[in-house]
Homo-oligomer: A and B are copies of this chain.
Amino acid sequence: MISENMKIMVGQSSAIRAMFEEGKRLASIYGAENVFDFSLGNPNVAAPEAVTRAIHEVADEPDSVEVHGYMNNSGYESVRAAVAEHLNRLHGTAFHQENILMTVGAAGGLNVILKTLLNPGDEVIAFAPYFGEYRAYTANFGGVLVEVPPKYPDFQLNLEGLKDKLTSRTRAVIINNPNNPTGVVYTDETIKGLAKILNEKMEEFGTDIYIIADEPYRELVYDGVTVPYLTKYYDNTIVGYSWSKSLSLPGERIGYLVIPDKAKDSELIISAANVANRILGFVNAPSLMQKVVAKCLEEKTDISYYDRNRKTLYEALTECGFECIPPKGAFYLFVKSPMEDEKEFVARAKEFNLLLVPGSSFGCPGYVRLAYCVSYETICNSIPRFREFADSLK
């Protein structure tokens, strides 16, 4: 028999993944070209050519033992130094290699930092809508995820709602900017407001509250928007990053944590996170891929591709009469369900081979998420189906 905990988890297993599997099933019946799968954030843009070149170069490095071997559990020192310098150039920060811990993707990094920080019963705050896996990651370490309700209609951070949820048990607040599933980018003003509240509450409770900035979509922004770098706004910020989206490498599981010197108990957190990375079974981020990303720090995926998808789909859906949050980042559209129960809406869409994910998966019923990181052809071919679907709802 499996554990009681896993019975629940299997029962609730990701609606996103379930829809992904359903998409493959439908494709086998109707043909892949007739199924419009907007369920999974799996980039459809190839990795930059520089990545492929870097893989060849690293594979041919003379010291194979070093390329494929163990290193410090936090990663190669040269790679960590390169990442720190890159961030300093971009953000005017002053990180050094000790602040960087290479991780098995952002999901690995989040688990490492939550293992490091949480005592059983500690609270972690997430702003709805949020990536549903945060709940499982928090539960892995006996933590409790506390939801702040959405802020309508702009889906910025609900700071008034936050005040009600902060307690002396709050250990961390997860900020996902740009946001999955809305595509909203939290503004400079929003982040300043967040920092102010957290500083006040830490004073009031006499506790340390950490921001965990989950930033896999940092580079995926449009219309010239900039994404505030949170360590500059709030000392106790730990950043989780992944190259999954920026270099289209989601399967490779490569990312990092930034644990700045300014964060409270920084040295202790750095050494504990190193141990957590090991004992959770990650051991270290994949070695060859560490060296590959270090050679590709200035590269990024073709954003214009996603931007065209974004504009085309947003325009088409709006024309069909659907109400969408205007997305400024990531590769998701968050659409208001015209039916009260958005799961019913998702089920009806599936009759048109349109695969969406219910907002309930993100703590935000009444909406659905579309991942537009698909081919442009899929976007274009889906539009007539969306029209038919919209007509069927009238």
Contacts and interface: CB of A to CB of B under 8 A. Distances in A.
Contacts of A276: 6, 9
Contact of A42 (B5, B67, B70): B70
Contacts of A1: 208, 264-265, 268
A65 B107 CA distance: 20
B117 A251 contact: no
A251 B276 CA distance: 17
A255 to B, nearest CB: 10
A10 B275 contact: yes
Contacts of A104: 104, 253, 281-283
A59 B278 CA distance: 28
A366 to B, nearest CB: 26
A314 to B, nearest CB: 23
Contacts of A268: 1-2, 10
A249 B74 CA distance: 17
Interface stretch (A44-52, A149-157, A186-194, A227-235): A44-52
A79 to B, nearest CB: 12
Contacts of A43: 65, 69
A103 to B, nearest CB: 8
Interface in A25-84: 40, 42-47, 51-52, 55-56, 59-60, 64-65, 67-73
Given A2-B272, A6-B272, A286-B286, A68 B40 contact: no
Contact of A68 (B56, B248, B280, B283): B248
A280 B283 contact: no
A158 interface: no
A88 interface: no
Contact of A281 (B6, B110, B265, B286): B110
Interface stretch (A136-144, A161-169, A195-203, A346-354): A136-144
Given A1-B268, A5-B119, A286-B286, A137 B208 contact: no
A140 B275 contact: no
A141 B105 CA distance: 22
Contact of A47 (B17, B68, B248): B68
A70 B251 contact: yes
Contacts of A45: 65
A52 B6 CA distance: 39
Contact of A118 (B3, B250, B283): B3
Contacts of A69: 42-43, 248, 250-251
Contacts of A60: 52
13 contacts: A1-B208, A2-B268, A3-B116, A3-B117, A3-B118, A5-B119, A13-B271, A64-B248, A65-B248, A69-B250, A104-B104, A111-B281, A137-B281
Interface of A: 1-7, 9-10, 13-14, 17, 21, 40, 42-47, 51-52, 55-56, 59-60, 64-65, 67-73, 104-105, 107-112, 115-119, 122, 133, 136-137, 140-141, 208, 248-253, 264-265, 268-269, 271-272, 275-276, 278-289
